[in-house]
């Protein structure tokens, strides 16, 4: 009998998206085939402590939760306990959204520990988390991006008047204000005038030292595509989000439950093909690997397309767009997890080929 792979699922985390991550992890754990995988659930508390728990739904504060860590040495120990004991892990599945999870930090630890992990590496994760660097890479790859300006919190606090004037000159209204490094619409608002822009910047500056102010996409479909692969990429059919509110804010995403997903998105075949081609180019532009979801805007009238963002750890509940798009493209949830784990092992094996000492080229 082939031994089961020991999969460490990481969830929770020190980010505004803690709760969303737990919801995603519940679905991932439920769909990992027990005949192939032994699942080890590792919760990260909002304070950043790591605990091994029986399931993501379990109460992490009970005595059943044990303090654990992964050490930054490639010693094959896997998961380590305070008493010096350890248990091996074959692969880690970070189901963490936002900072300290989707941004390359956890990925860096897993690289140092020599553990294979699902999803983008350090670089792809880090540049995709920062909306400013991400959009600069999109622009450099020739992808269509809405006009935006970066605003540093320090400058905003020093000289509000000139920041507002510059934004009105270059971006105008209506616009969106966003913290650069977050997700799930946390800290994002729409501004139609100077007062709202000011309030939006005040609010976004609570979350990050860097913010973006971006032109609002005029009368557009909100379209998403799922992708997977390391070198050979696959792209799903596109889906459309119909937000239940003014825009797809935190409440529309997770709280009121009445936003709709249209799968497939009602786009003409040539527009679908263009969306898929741009999604693939966006994935490549940020050096993503494993999987990701690319979000775009498509103008209703003339079908003009803009790339909005890539998420390297997209929402993964069973009703989330990422697995639903794969399902509609012929890849069920459990099969999707199998493929992502295989991609993680393949990327790790490829990296293991690199020599880590200097061999003279004679």
Q: Which residues bind ligand ADP (CB under 6 A)?
A: 146, 176, 178, 182-185, 188, 214-217, 222, 243, 247-248, 295, 308-309
CB of 108 to ligand ADP, least distance (A): 21
- Which positions ≥6 away from 73 have C-beta within 8 Å? 112, 113, 114
Q: Are strands 175-179 and 210-215 parallel, antiparallel or unpaired?
A: antiparallel
CB of 190 to ligand ADP, least distance (A): 7
**Locus of tokens 């739904």:** 57
CB of 335 to ligand ADP, least distance (A): 27
What is the rounded distance in angstroms from the CA atom of residue 20 to the CA atom of residue 42? Answer: 15
Residue with Cβ nearer ligand ADP (29 or 217): 217
Residue with Cβ nearer ligand ADP (78 or 119): 119
Give 356's DSSP letter: S
What values do phi and psi take at 206, rounded to 5?
-70, -30
CB of 293 to ligand ADP, least distance (A): 10
Residue with Cβ nearer ligand ADP (298 or 343): 298
Q: Provide the sign of the torsion angle of the four alpha carbons 309, 283, 119, 327, taken in this order.
A: positive
**Peptide bond before 327: cis, by omega within 30 degrees of 0?**
no
Q: Provide the sign of the torsion angle of the four alpha carbons 172, 176, 179, 182, taken in this order.
A: negative
Contact 220, 170 (CB under 8 A): no
Residue with Cβ nearer ligand ADP (191 or 267): 191
Contact 340, 47 (CB under 8 A): no
Residue with Cβ nearer ligand ADP (9 or 145): 145
**Peptide bond before 221: cis, by omega within 30 degrees of 0?**
no
What is the rounded distance in angstroms from the CA atom of residue 206 to the CA atom of residue 228? Answer: 34
- Which positions ≥6 away from 261 have C-beta within 8 Å? 239, 240, 241, 242, 319, 321, 324
> 269-285 and 131-140 are packed helices; what angle lies between their axes, rounded to 10 degrees?
110
- 3-state SS, residue 354: coil
The two three-digit tokens of residue 360, written as one number: 């003279």
Residue with Cβ nearer ligand ADP (90 or 214): 214
The two three-digit tokens of residue 174, written as one number: 């209506």
Give 329's DSSP letter: T
In angstroms, the Cα distances linking 149 to 136, 172, 346, 351 are: 11, 11, 39, 37
């Amino acid at each position: 009998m082939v031994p089961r792979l020991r999969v460490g699922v990481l969830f929770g985390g020190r980010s505004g998206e803690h709760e969303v991550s737990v919801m995603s992890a519940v679905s991932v754990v439920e769909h990992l085939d027990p005949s192939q995988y032994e699942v080890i659930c590792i919760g990260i508390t909002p304070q950043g402590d790591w605990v091994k728990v029986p399931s993501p739904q379990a109460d992490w504060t009970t005595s059943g939760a044990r303090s654990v860590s992964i050490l930054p040495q490639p010693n094959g120990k896997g998961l380590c306990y305070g008493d010096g004991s350890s248990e091996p892990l074959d692969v880690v599945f970070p189901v963490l959204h936002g900072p300290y999870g989707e941004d390359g930090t956890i990925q860096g630890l897993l690289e140092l520990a020599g553990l294979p992990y699902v999803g983008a590496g350090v670089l792809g994760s880090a540049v995709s988390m920062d909306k400013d660097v991400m959009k600069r890479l999109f622009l450099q790859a020739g992808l269509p991006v809405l006009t935006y300006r970066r605003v540093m919190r320090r400058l905003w606090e020093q000289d509000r008047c000139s920041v507002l004037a510059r934004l009105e000159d270059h971006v105008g209204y209506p616009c969106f204000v966003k913290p650069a490094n977050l997700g799930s619409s946390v800290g994002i608002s729409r501004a139609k005038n100077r007062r709202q822009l000011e309030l939006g910047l005040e609010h976004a500056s609570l979350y990050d030292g860097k913010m973006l102010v971006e032109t609002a996409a005029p009368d557009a479909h909100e379209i998403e595509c799922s992708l997977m692969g390391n070198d050979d990429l696959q792209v799903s059919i596109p889906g459309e989000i119909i937000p239940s509110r003014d825009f797809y804010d935190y409440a529309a995403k997770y709280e009121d439950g009445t936003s709709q997903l249209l799968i497939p998105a009602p786009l003409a075949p040539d527009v679908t093909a263009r969306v898929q081609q741009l999604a693939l180019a966006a994935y490549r532009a940020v050096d993503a690997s494993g999987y990701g979801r690319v979000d775009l805007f498509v103008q209703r009238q003339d079908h003009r397309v803009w790339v909005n963002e890539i998420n390297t750890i997209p929402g993964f509940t069973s009703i989330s767009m990422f697995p639903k798009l794969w399902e509609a493209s012929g890849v069920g949830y459990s099969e999707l997890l199998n493929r992502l784990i295989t991609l993680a092992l393949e990327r790790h094996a490829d990296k293991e080929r690199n020599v880590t000492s200097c061999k003279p080229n004679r």
